[in-house]
A and B are shown apart, each in its own frame.
Chain A
Amino acid sequence: MKKTGLNILFIIALSVGILSCDTDDTCRKSRTVLLGMNFYLDSINSKTNQLVVQNLAIDSLWIKGEGLDKYFYSKESKNSVKLPLNSFAQESKYMMRFNETIDTVLIKHQNFTEFLSLECGYIRTHKIDTVISTNNFIDSISINQENVGTIYVENIQIHHNK
């Protein structure tokens, strides 16, 4: 191989070497762990007499953690919400106001510490054990996916009967 060819190869290799040394402190992974909750309207089709399940949009939704002052959702129109579970307790209790009707939802869960990277640090993920609620607006509640992580999934379904 000619000297010029080797020189070009050397410069390319040196550049690759310098670029490979680059360390970036920026966290590029999601650190947000939120529970996904969707609302459904259950009704019976009078003609077929079969159960019909539809997405339900709440006109005025208020949600806050019990014992806290700060609302996570405040007078918002939503058919689904994303809620944070308590990272340092085994249960999270929410006060949920659907228009004018108030319900309390208690979610019992386990917490897990997960390492993302040196740049991102650690996060707490959760596994839902049980969900209990009052039944003023809510008619039934079910766990669709028990694991709560950084990827959004529908964890809980809240059903309201027509």
Chain B
Amino acid sequence: MGLLSSIHAQEEVKPIKKTVEKSDTVKVKVWQGFFVEFDVAPLIESALINKYAYTYQGNLMINLSNRFFPMIEMGYAGADKTNINEISFKTSGMFQKIGIDFRLLKPHPSATIKHNFVLGGLRFGMSNFNYSINNALIEDPYWGGSEIINENSIPSTKYWFEFVAGTRVSLYKNIYLGWNVRNKRLLNKTKEGEISPWYVPGYGLGKSPIWGFSYTVGYKF
């Protein structure tokens, strides 16, 4: 009887153990909603620093398990610049970027707001656009002679990578603010002497690498 009762006792303990294990595991749903964001940094830049360029960019960022954030960034950008030698450059066009951010730091267990994120990630960008370079003067100071070169509607497609690091912070309920710094690198570089765009929509000045900064205002759905 003593042996039998001990077997019964063991059988009874097992289901209790299982329930304890289940209650300890914190299950996070994969789908955690999505963010719709607008990048306000180019607006400030256009108003205060670089009045020749403009960018309107919107982002759609999906939150998976609060760890992975696939995203699409799209927009329209352009530039109209005349330099000190009176050479003018003009461009405008759409751009698209696709990429993913990863949560770099786990929220502290005692943190009251758990949906603030420190993120790092990658983007792949593309822009298909036309540009014009006008009033470029070539002179021969010794033999004499001059020519003004005007080139209009030069088609161009540029591809680039961006390494991104930044944050998303809950401001009020579902309103989020975010900023990130970006290191951008053009994939298709031009050969020496070949005409190339001074500004690439969505990328910025046509050098490589360059740095960029975004400041986003967004809403979480």
Selecting from A38-46, A52-60, A98-106, A113-121, the interface stretch reads: A113-121
Interface size class of A (residues with CB under 8 A): 35 or more
Q: Which of B84, B143, B179, B193 is the one whose CB lies under 8 Å from A114? A: B193
Residue of chain B at shortest CB distance from A72:
B142
**What per-residue 1/0 map shows which CB atoms of B40-61 lie under 8 Å from chain A?**
0100010001101000000000
Task: Check if A17 sits within 8 Å of B50, measured CB to CB.
Answer: no
Assess A21 versus B194: contact at CB under 8 Å? Given A72-B142, A113-B138.
Answer: no
A-B pairs with lowest CB-CB distance, top 10: A17-B213, A114-B193, A88-B145, A20-B211, A13-B181, A118-B198, A87-B140, A86-B143, A115-B195, A84-B142
* B69: chain A residues within 8 A (beta carbon): none
Task: Check if B140 sits within 8 Å of A122, measured CB to CB.
Answer: no
* A68: chain B residues within 8 A (beta carbon): 142-143
In the docked arrangement, what's the CA distance between A84 and B186, Å? Answer: 35
Greatest chain B CB density within 10 A among A18, A112, A118, A123 is at A118
B130 contacts chain A at the CB level, 8 A cutoff:
no
B105 contacts chain A at the CB level, 8 A cutoff:
yes
Task: Check if B50 sits within 8 Å of A121, measured CB to CB.
Answer: no
A51 contacts chain B at the CB level, 8 A cutoff:
no
* A116: chain B residues within 8 A (beta carbon): 193
Task: Check if A20 sits within 8 Å of B204, measured CB to CB.
Answer: yes
In the docked arrangement, what's the CA distance between A23 and B210, Å? Answer: 12
Task: Check if B167 sits within 8 Å of A6, measured CB to CB.
Answer: yes
B21 contacts chain A at the CB level, 8 A cutoff:
no
* B118: chain A residues within 8 A (beta carbon): 1, 6
Assess A23 versus B50: contact at CB under 8 Å? Given A86-B143, A115-B194, A118-B89.
Answer: yes
* B198: chain A residues within 8 A (beta carbon): 117-118
B128 contacts chain A at the CB level, 8 A cutoff:
no
* A18: chain B residues within 8 A (beta carbon): 49, 213
Task: Check if B50 sits within 8 Å of A14, measured CB to CB.
Answer: no
Assess A17 versus B212: contact at CB under 8 Å? Given A6-B167, A122-B136, A125-B193.
Answer: yes
In the assembled complex, 10 residue pairs joining A and B whose CB atoms fall closer than 8 Å, in A order, are: A14-B179, A17-B213, A18-B213, A84-B140, A86-B143, A87-B138, A113-B138, A114-B192, A115-B133, A124-B138
* B142: chain A residues within 8 A (beta carbon): 65, 68, 70, 72, 84
Assess A118 versus B138: contact at CB under 8 Å? Given A13-B180, A20-B212, A89-B143.
Answer: no
B137 contacts chain A at the CB level, 8 A cutoff:
yes
What 9 new A-B contacts, CB under 8 Å, besides A13-B180, A25-B85, A115-B193? A1-B105, A6-B167, A16-B211, A17-B212, A20-B210, A25-B84, A68-B143, A84-B142, A121-B138
A10 contacts chain B at the CB level, 8 A cutoff:
yes
Task: Check if A19 sits within 8 Å of B211, measured CB to CB.
Answer: yes
Residue of chain A at shortest CB distance from B214:
A17
Task: Check if A17 sits within 8 Å of B181, measured CB to CB.
Answer: yes
* A86: chain B residues within 8 A (beta carbon): 140, 143, 145
- Expressed in whole angstroms, the minimum distance between the Cβ of B96 and any Cβ of chain A is 21
* B204: chain A residues within 8 A (beta carbon): 20
